[in-house]
A and B are shown apart, each in its own frame.
Chain A
Amino acid sequence: MNTFAMILSVVAALVAAGLPIAEATDRLRQNRRERHEVLRNRYLHLLMLVLHTGTHEIPRFPLLRRRGAWLLLTETLAGIVAATYGLDTAQLRRIVTVHNLEKKLLRRIRLSRGYRRARHISLLASLPIDTSTTTRLARYSQSRNRAVKFQVLLSRMATEPAMTLRLIEEYEAPLSGCEMAEIMVLLRRGILPIAYEPLLRSPSPNLRRIGMGIVKQFSIEEAAHILRELAAGDPEPELSREALYTLCAMHCPLKGRQIHTGIGRLSVLQRRALMRYMVHESYSPDLLGELFGAAGHSYAEALAQTHKRTLA
């Protein structure tokens, strides 16, 4: 009993001592966050001033020698570049060079691991850097971490737009949905070619995937016949499924032997998912009945009658 009381009092003493420490740490952290927020706004203001006035003078960024301030400046620069286009990159490049941001970031990449490294690579990719820097990142393209590998690909695409297709072709892992979305953002910047046909007919699965992404994004109905061919006979079952989804997204008529063959390649669960997607895209239960049999018709009707989606 005595031992128990002693343990209890020790725990109580530890909690009593720990709580103020935790509170103080939290307050310090919050203060630092607020300070960083103020500093970030200041950097943003200075950078926007440089960009709008077109001055060749490099502004003096306050408190840049403080710990972590250079990273704040880098994040601010990367944030501006990510949300805009048509900026004076020469001016931004001068800021990067004068403040040695590239070297500092490369050092940070070398010292960090995993997702932290991927984040730093993505920051570096957002900055206006030259090809020599991306070649220094080449060693990370064999990383076991998928995010790191992908960010290296993005950084190389950003600095060598002419090589984009070859780089994607060489990228071994199949691109995930999120990765595709990031690549599609590059399309808006004009880094990717918009010619969909060579992409859809490419032997590389990733390029075919990109081609489908372009067709879907711009609703290019002229590509429907190629998508039907892919749905029926793409060597990659995943891409065959993606072709069916792309056709649905564009509200193309889903009839013919090729569509039936494509649906035949799907597993039961994948068929159900496709049915749900088709109902979501407002395809009629009759068409679902034609493609999936009587079960498809009743499933579509049941889905349409639920309150999950209000049909007009």
Chain B
Amino acid sequence: MQRILIVSDDEFLRQMVCRTLCDLDAEVKSTPCNTEMEQLCRRMLFDLVIVLQAAPFLCGRDPIGTLRPMGLRRPLFYVVSWQQSEQTVLSLLESGIDQYMTFPVNLQRLRAKVAHDLIRQTE
């Protein structure tokens, strides 16, 4: 079974995205903080990590470099945040994230993208 991790300090948003993805054929875990995200990612290999804030990727650290094992394309990183300025989006894409979406987000579209990427990973 594939694994998805959802990271956000906002419990409401975290629960909302969790419940959107809960009927996919994947195990959905969630965590409120980035430290725990790093610990979880080191302990098990997730197929997809959805981070509902841009800050962890803009603080000068390289979470993707440290959390994605060498030579693997997993986990995929999705970022969903309220930030929309061109510079922020470029910085996020340069940091290596695979998908960026802004709030307000279309939940059906997010779900479809996640399902599509999970299917692609199994192929």
A66 CB within 8 Å of chain B: no
Enumerate 23 A-B pairs (CB-CB under 8 Å) in ascending A order. Answer: A41-B15, A44-B12, A44-B16, A45-B15, A45-B19, A48-B19, A48-B20, A79-B16, A80-B16, A83-B12, A83-B13, A83-B16, A84-B16, A84-B104, A84-B106, A84-B107, A85-B106, A86-B106, A86-B108, A188-B84, A188-B104, A217-B85, A219-B86
- In contact, B12 and A189 (Cβ under 8 angstroms): no
In the assembled complex, the Cα of A44 lies from the Cα of B117 at a distance in Å of 26
B67 to A: closest C-beta gap in Å: 25
| Chain B interface helix/strand/loop/mixed | helix
Contact A83 B15 (CB under 8 A): no
Minimum C-beta distance from B91 to chain A (A): 13
- Asked if A22 CB lies within 8 Å of chain B CBs, one says no
Interface size on A, residues (CB 8 A): 23
What is the interface residue range for chain B against chain A? 10 to 19
CB distance from B100 to the nearest CB of A (A): 14
A185 near B104: Cβ-Cβ < 8 Å: yes
- The count of A-to-B residue pairs whose CB atoms sit within 8 angstroms is 48
Residue of B nearest to A181 (CB): B82
Name which residue of chain A comes closest to B105, CB basis: A84
- For the complex of A and B, the 7 pairs showing the least CB-CB separation, nearest first, are A48-B19, A86-B106, A85-B104, A219-B86, A79-B12, A84-B104, A84-B107
Known A44-B12, A48-B16, A83-B16; contact A188-B102, beta-carbon cutoff 8 A:
yes
CB distance from B26 to the nearest CB of A (A): 15
B19 touches A217 (CB 8 A): no
A-side contacts of B109, CB under 8 Å: 86
